[in-house]
Amino acid sequence: MELRNISADSADIAVFESINEEAIPENERNSIADLIATGAQVIGIYEDMPAGFMVIRIYKDIVYLAYLAVRRDLRSRGTGSRALAALSGMYEGYQIVVEYEVPADELSIRRKGFYMRAGFHETGWYTFYDDAEFEIACMGKDYDADMFAEFTVHLSALVSDHIPKPYRKDIT
């Protein structure tokens, strides 16, 4: 497996857009070009050919994993797990933070299980946006709720329609 930074003029951009269309729900999807334009880092996952991509945003010691998408024909074969392990190795000493839909159906339950098996742990924090509730998980450094809240303010300045507000359900 090889991870490569992808730019708007990369030769494989159409392949990654196709994976994006097929793998990311419409209400959560942004084009690769739009993500790059707002400063996101798009990382191509290659296994001889484009196998998927990750989108991250780095803020201080946070690596925010906005997207992980793997081609349909390569899912459940370890590609995503290997990509997360490589990402973790690249950003040792950082807290890698991901949000996934609160488990409510078979797919969202499987998605959470995937992240837990990959080394993420629950934080007890949630966000709500795009008409969906998300659970926040972290790997690497311990989750820093204050730093993540600061990151969401930073992200909202870059992406004006993305204004998540982290919260805990056990705090009133």
Identify the DSSP state of 105: S
pLDDT at 120: 97
β-sheet bridge partners, residue 44: 4, 53
What's 122's domain CATH number?
3.40.630.30
* Under 8 Å between Cβ of 28 and 66: no
pLDDT at 172: 55
Number of domains in the chain: 1
Domain interval for residue 52: 2-168
Q: Residue 20 — very low, low, confident or very high, per pLDDT cuts 50/70/90?
A: very high
How many other C-beta atoms are found inside a 10 Å radius of the C-beta of residue 135? Answer: 20
Cα separation, 30 vs 97, in Å, equals 19
Could you report the per-residue pLDDT of 140-152, keeping only the tens digit for each?
A: 888 999 999 999 9
pLDDT at 108: 87
Residue 146, judged by CB atoms within 10 A of its CB (0-12, 13-18, 19+), counts as: exposed
* Under 8 Å between Cβ of 44 and 86: no
Could you report the per-residue pLDDT of 97-136, keeping only the tens digit for each?
A: 999 999 888 988 999 999 999 999 999 999 988 778 999 9
Q: Residue 165 — very low, low, confident or very high, per pLDDT cuts 50/70/90?
A: confident
CA-closest candidate to residue 138, choices 128, 123, 151: 123
What would the mean pLDDT of 31-41 be, rounded to a whole number? Answer: 91
pTM (2 d.p.): 0.92
